[in-house]
Amino acid sequence: MKTFLLLLYYLFATYLPMEPVPGYKFYYKIRFLIVKRLLKKCGKSVVVKNKCYFGNGDRLSVGSFSELGQNARIVGPVTLGDYVMMGPDVYIMGVTHDVSDLSKPMVVDTKNRSIQKEVKIGNDVWIGTRTVIMPGVEIGDHSIIGAGAVVTKSFPPYSIIGGVPARLIKKR
């Protein structure tokens, strides 16, 4: 059944239109009904925009009233809280590679030595367009991540962060 749902999602549902196309709420509902059966955990009223990639879904948990942005790519163990907003083209990576063995070329060595580092995004977080969130990062509740940020470290609640690499701009 899961294989069928993955095919249905990636070959059909991911291409359904989104807002402002008339009937977009119906298309969101179709994606939600499929995705909630694929994810490790899926809260209520989750919006999945088109062309969102999350592998087979078994390492992604999404809280209620959250949104997976258009063209988002979410890989590895990732937990999103409730009321998370996400702009388009967001990358969240919960997997990295062990590159400590200098005796082998990285292209050979990393294929068999991936390291999972869970990413945790708190409740009521806004993730701006084209943000990249690296493995092991935790973002506190009520935070805002500015567009184009590359987040390489964790931030406490109520943070407004941005830049490359991301830094604390101010507190909310």
- Closest by CA to 154, choosing from 172, 142, 171, 168, is 168
Give backbone dihedrals phi and psi of 111, rounded to 5 degrees, phi first: -65, -30
Model pLDDT, residue 111: 60
53-87 confidence digits (pLDDT tens) = 999 999 999 999 999 999 999 999 999 999 999 99
- CATH number of domain containing 69: 2.160.10.10
Structural domain range at position 53: 2-171
Other beta carbons within 10 Å of 135 = 21
Q: Which residues contact 144 (CB under 8 A, 6 or more apart)?
A: 125, 126, 128, 159, 160, 161, 172
- Examine the residue annotation and report whether 97 is marked as an active-site residue of this protein: yes
Measured CA distances, 165 to 23, 132, 151, 169 (Å): 39, 10, 6, 12
Question: Of residues 36, 73, 97, 142, which has the active-site annotation?
Answer: 97
**pLDDT in 10s for each residue of the chain, 172 residues:** 899 999 999 999 999 999 999 999 999 999 999 999 999 999 999 999 999 999 999 999 999 999 999 999 999 999 999 999 999 999 999 998 877 778 877 777 656 678 899 999 999 999 999 999 999 999 999 999 999 999 999 999 999 999 999 999 999 9
H-helix or E-strand spanning residue 70: none
Average pLDDT, the chain: 94
Structurally, how many domains does the chain consist of? 1
